[in-house]
Amino acid sequence: MKSNWKLLALMLLSSVITLAAYNLLGFNNRDVIFNESTPAPASTNRLVSLPGGPTAVPGDFSTAAEAVTPTVVHIRTTMTRTVRQQQIPDIFREFFGDEFGGGGNQRQPRRQQGQASGSGVIISKDGYIVTNNHVVQDADEVEVIMTDKRSFKAKVIGTDPLTDLAVIKVDANNLPFITLGDSDGLKLGEWVLAVGYPLDLESTVTAGIVSAKGRRIGILDQNINRNEEKPDSPVESFIQTDAAINPGNSGGALVNLRGELVGINSAIASQTGYYSGYGFAVPVSLVKKVSADLLKYGNVQRGYIGILPQELNSTLAKEKGTKVGRGIYVNEVVGKGAAEAAGLKKGDVIVKMEGQALDSDAQMREIIGRRRPGDIVTVTVNRDGTERDFKVELRNRNGGRDVIKKSEVTAAATSLNSLGANFEALSSQEAKQLGVSGGVRVSKITDGKLADTDVEEGFIIVKANTKSVKSTKDLQDIIAAVKEGEGLMLIGMYPNSSRMYYYAVPM
């Protein structure tokens, strides 16, 4: 079953690439397919659910639809991307000369403007709106259009790729806003409505049921920052629904029949790029916490339990000799982390967290994802057949309990990210085969300084500004030392060539 979900996720990814190409060429204005109820702190009480929401007769969708539709907005974004022209193969230059293709082997990157479209949900009367990260990611301009046709320019307040959520703000007052519900209370088979702007249409409402909860499909893995030595894991615990969701619904509302927000629609599983029966929404329990963090701190405050987990099944239970067949197996306890301090050990099986029976890694990540460093989580462990409760005080990514400022999180990656590429260090075996002591491979070029050079994907950096590069941290440190107005010289090779290449990158 897991392999099937991975296949579906890949289908979504291929659709992303296709739609992105259409957007950049101006053929399409559609949104890309992406593909605890912990109360908000006092300073962000705009996110707390309001009592006395609308009521409806079972099976009557009109009351909820009427209440919700004005709170869901259309989001249009404009972004500029670098388009790298294809290199002219040598065989064509032999026959047609360097004039073929306008300059032979030289590829001049071009900047093109594209548009995308999505949805958002108003969460406060003073103009705060929740949407998907992928709706506003890399946008130069964000426009919000209300159901009454009013249009506003929006500012991006904060984004979180690991949950695919973002908060934006328009300069307006007395806006209609949605009531936040309780996704934990959702039942399988319960009716829900999806409200958004699919396929660049006007506001649209569709109905379906909750098909599954705590679903992980692997679609957010592409958002992991591969430039970090130990990247964070995405938090995927989607609500699955058969309410029709299409491109453009991203960032829109999934609501119950009381008109309460229970999820933010984020993804579809499809081989065609359009709805084929499966839609996925971020549960509102996670939306509340992430939105509150973005508003108060500017970034998400993540708590870490300090283990390497593995989802238990009958095969693994037999292999490890556990006394239970369900739960989260502790493969390793990270040194000086929260779990070690609480007394957890390798070989323990976490069977409950905060009193909830654990069936999946996705469920555990969602529970932890709702909390912050310093919060205490009750963890029930089966150790050698006996259950024990542990009080685990979550830590931040640095092992402490304090709030991590946005500047601290972004400072280390800013310079490296400006290159617009993903990097991965060579293994010792790869380095030996290439005859180098180490290096960093350019695994993917997205949009940044490297896109404006002749560097190709697969290029292996062995030196930068004459200093050896053996890890992404080495490269980051070298870039951080580059002064304003200076450049970066990358020296390296390609896997199938012994020749050394030199690339000058203006910084």
**How many CA within 13 A on the CB side of residue 475?**
31
- Bridge partners (DSSP) listed for residue 506: 487
Contact 163, 281 (CB under 8 A): no
Q: What is the DSSP letter of 292?
A: H
Cβ–Cβ under 8 Å, residues 274 and 281: no
Q: Which fold has domain 406-506?
A: Pdz3 Domain (2.30.42)
| Cα separation, 488 vs 473, whole angstroms | 16
User: Which residues are part of a known binding site for substrate?
Assistant: 134, 164, 248-250
Whole-prediction pTM value? 0.69
Residue pair 468/474 in contact by the 8 Å Cβ criterion:
yes
- Write down the pLDDT at residue 335: 77
CATH superfamily of 307-393: PDZ domain (2.30.42.10)
CATH architecture assignment, domain 2-295:
Beta Barrel (2.40)
Q: Which helix (H) or strand (E) holds 213?
A: strand 204-215
- Give me the pLDDT at residue 474, please: 86
Please indicate whether the domains covering 2-295 and 406-506 agree at the CATH topology level.
no
pLDDT at 403: 78
Active-site annotation holds for 250: yes
Does 15 qualify as catalytic in the annotation? Answer: no
**Sequence ranges of the binding site:** 134, 164, 248-250
3-state secondary structure 129-151: EEECHHHHCCCCEEEEECCCCCE
Read off the pLDDT of each residue in 246-257 and give the average, rounded to a whole number.
Answer: 95
Active site residue: 117, 124, 183, 250, which one?
250
Burial 379-404 (b: 16+ CB within 10 A, else e): bbbbbeeeeeebebebbbbeeeeebb
Please give the distance of CA 227 from its chain centroid, rounded to a whole number: 15
Q: What are the pLDDT digits (tens) for 149-158?
A: 999 999 999 9
Read off the tokens for 130.
């929740």
Q: Locate the domains of the chain by residue range.
A: 2-295, 307-393, 406-506
Q: Decide if 134 is catalytic.
A: yes
Over residues 156-212, the pLDDT tens digits come to 999 999 899 999 999 999 999 999 999 999 999 999 999 999 988 899 999 999 999
β pairing state of 467-468 and 460-464? antiparallel
Torsion angle in degrees (nearest 10) through CA of 18, 21, 26, 28: 20
Count of all residues that appear for the chain in the document: 507
Q: Please report which helix (H) or strand (E) contains residue 393, including its range.
A: strand 386-393
Please pick, among 164, 293, 348, 447, the residue that the annotation labels catalytic.
Answer: 164
